[in-house]
């Protein structure tokens, strides 16, 4: 297990519970309460391309969409604030870029596979 140095470490810790895979990233995470004795919250990301491995986990876009929905709800309530508005804007931007990547992979005929795409150097 590897502690991920993000999140609200005062109340929870985030752990990567598997070894990084082919792409260099872990696929399984747990959010563990620091104080309360509750079951860990488990998040499993897609491992391998869908066309090759089938659907076996969530995608980055799924979690971002959940947070966007929550922040939109907060912005429509008494919890509306500037910081939530800015975070919402950046999450929408992140989702846009991930969707651009998907469209580009579809255009190149490699979406859903482990084939690499032609990419510009940043």
- Of 42, 95, 98, 91, the closest CA to residue 71 belongs to 91
Confidence at residue 36, expressed as pLDDT on a 0 to 100 scale: 84
Confidence at residue 109, expressed as pLDDT on a 0 to 100 scale: 85
Q: Which domain holds residue 105?
A: 60-109
Task: Evaluate whether residue 103 is within a structural domain.
Answer: yes
Map residue 7 onto helix, strand or coil.
coil
pTM over 0.85: no
> Do 66 and 37 sit in the same domain of this protein?
no
Confidence at residue 118, expressed as pLDDT on a 0 to 100 scale: 64
- CB-CB contact of 59 with 44 (8 Å): no
- CB-CB contact of 72 with 92 (8 Å): no
Of residues 112 and 90, more confidently modeled: 90
Confidence at residue 122, expressed as pLDDT on a 0 to 100 scale: 40
Confidence at residue 91, expressed as pLDDT on a 0 to 100 scale: 98
- CB-CB contact of 40 with 32 (8 Å): yes
Query: With bands split at pLDDT 50, 70 and 90, how would you rate the model's confidence at 121?
Result: very low
Confidence at residue 110, expressed as pLDDT on a 0 to 100 scale: 84
Domain count, the chain: 2
14-68 pLDDT per residue, tens? 999 999 988 889 999 999 988 888 899 999 999 988 888 899 999 999 999 999 9
Of residues 102 and 85, more confidently modeled: 85
53-97 pLDDT per residue, tens? 899 999 999 999 999 999 999 999 999 999 999 999 999 999 999
> Do 40 and 70 sit in the same domain of this protein?
no
> Do 49 and 65 sit in the same domain of this protein?
no
């Amino acid at each position: 297990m590897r502690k991920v140095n993000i999140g609200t470490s005062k109340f929870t810790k985030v752990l990567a519970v598997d070894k990084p895979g082919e792409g260099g990233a872990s696929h399984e995470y747990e959010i563990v309460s620091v104080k309360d004795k509750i079951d860990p919250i488990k998040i499993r990301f897609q491992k391998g391309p869908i066309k090759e491995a089938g659907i076996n986990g969530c995608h980055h876009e799924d979690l971002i969409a959940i947070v966007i929905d929550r922040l939109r709800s907060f912005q429509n309530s008494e919890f509306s604030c500037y910081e939530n508005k800015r975070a919402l804007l950046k999450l929408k931007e992140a989702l846009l870029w991930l969707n651009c990547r998907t469209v580009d992979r579809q255009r190149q005929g490699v979406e859903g596979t482990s084939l690499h795409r032609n990419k510009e150097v940043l």
